[in-house]
């Protein structure tokens, strides 16, 4: 019962205003208008969660080797600042009185075999996977019946810019299969494969091709 009360309190208070850390900015993977997590100029990351009724909150996941205790402020907000993680994408979550809770300020990704929070920390000077002002392809959801398992499966299919203008054009196809713990959405949601390919095609570094992600 305590866990349910804690979660309800968390949801009701997640929109409360936050005191921002000077010299830091919201992570690019935050939900729109979410101020935390924040990344400072040195790469340190501050995580914050409002849970005034909680007795203990920890940060856990790929951003920390072991769960890290968070400190509670008088307004009921828990926070912790960690040393700079390696550049790239990292899954994380909170432990609220021992209960695993996703960050309401983060987008949700499928990792560790379940929906979880994540933070994207680009390497300085690297923007090859950012959306740019170039022609963009499309990512489509495709359901098919597997002849091997006899079950329905979902694949995400990337088609390059201009694909629908001439359906007679034949393209090379790249097939990608995810690893354990993730699913077919990871190639584009965490990995930004569609933007990478769009940019490569626009730079004439790749010919247009189709990608089937399963």
Residue 86 belongs to domain spanning = 2-121
87 within domain boundaries: yes
**107 and 8 together in one domain:** yes
Question: Do 22 and 60 fall into the same domain?
Answer: yes
Residues 86 and 17 in one domain: yes
Question: Do 60 and 104 fall into the same domain?
Answer: yes
pTM: 0.83
Within-domain flag for 86:
yes
Predicted local confidence at residue 56, as pLDDT: 98
Low-confidence ranges of the chain (pLDDT < 50): 1-19
> Do 151 and 86 share a structural domain?
no
Considering the domain architecture, whether residues 166 and 192 belong to the same structural domain is answered as yes
Q: Which of 121, 154, 182 is the last residue of a domain?
A: 121
The answer to the question of residue 126 being in a domain is no
Whether residues 115 and 150 fall in one domain? no
Q: What CATH number has the domain bearing residue 41?
A: 2.60.40.10
Residues 85, 144 share a domain: no
Q: Which of 121, 147, 166 is the last residue of a domain?
A: 121
- Do 113 and 154 share a domain, yes or no? no
pLDDT at 166: 84
pLDDT of residue 125: 84
pLDDT at res. 16:
41
**67 and 167 belong to one structural domain:** no
Question: 151 and 71: one domain?
Answer: no
Tell me the DSSP string of the chain.
-HHHHHHHHHHHHTTS--PPPTTEEE-TTBPTT---SEEETTS-EEEEEE-TT-S-EEEEETT-SS-EE-EEPTTSEEEEEEPPPPSEEEEEEEEETTEEE--TTB-EEEETTEEEEEEEEPPTT--TTS--SS---EEEEEEEE-TTTSSEEEEEEEE-TTGGG-TT----EEEE---TT--TTHHHHTT-HHHHHHHHHHTTSS---EEEE-
Provide the domain count of the chain.
Answer: 2
Residue 128 within any structural domain of the chain: no
Residue 21 lies in a domain: yes
Q: Are residues 109 and 145 in the same domain?
A: no
Whether 130 maps to a domain, the answer reads no
In a domain, 24, yes or no: yes
The confidence score (pLDDT) of residue 15 equals 38
């Amino acid at each position: 019962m305590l866990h349910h009360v804690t979660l309800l309190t968390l949801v009701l208070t997640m929109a409360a205003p936050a005191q921002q850390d000077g010299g830091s900015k919201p992570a690019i993977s935050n939900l729109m208008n979410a101020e935390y997590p924040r990344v400072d100029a040195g790469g340190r990351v501050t995580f914050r969660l409002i849970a005034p009724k909680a007795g203990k909150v920890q940060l856990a996941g790929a951003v920390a080797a072991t769960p890290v205790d968070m400190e509670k402020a008088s307004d009921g907000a828990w926070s912790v600042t960690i040393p700079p993680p390696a550049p790239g994408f990292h899954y994380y979550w909170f432990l609220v009185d021992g209960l695993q809770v996703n960050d309401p300020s983060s987008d949700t990704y499928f990792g560790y075999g379940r929906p979880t929070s994540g933070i994207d920390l680009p390497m300085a000077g690297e923007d090859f996977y950012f959306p740019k002002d170039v022609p963009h392809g499309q990512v489509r959801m495709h359901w098919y019946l597997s002849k091997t398992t006899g079950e329905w499966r979902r694949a995400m299919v990337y088609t390059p810019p201009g694909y629908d203008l001439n359906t007679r054009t034949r393209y090379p196809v790249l097939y990608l299969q995810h690893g354990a713990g993730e699913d077919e959405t990871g190639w584009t949601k965490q990995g930004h494969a569609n933007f990478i390919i769009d940019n490569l095609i626009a730079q004439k570094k790749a010919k247009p091709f189709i990608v089937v992600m399963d």
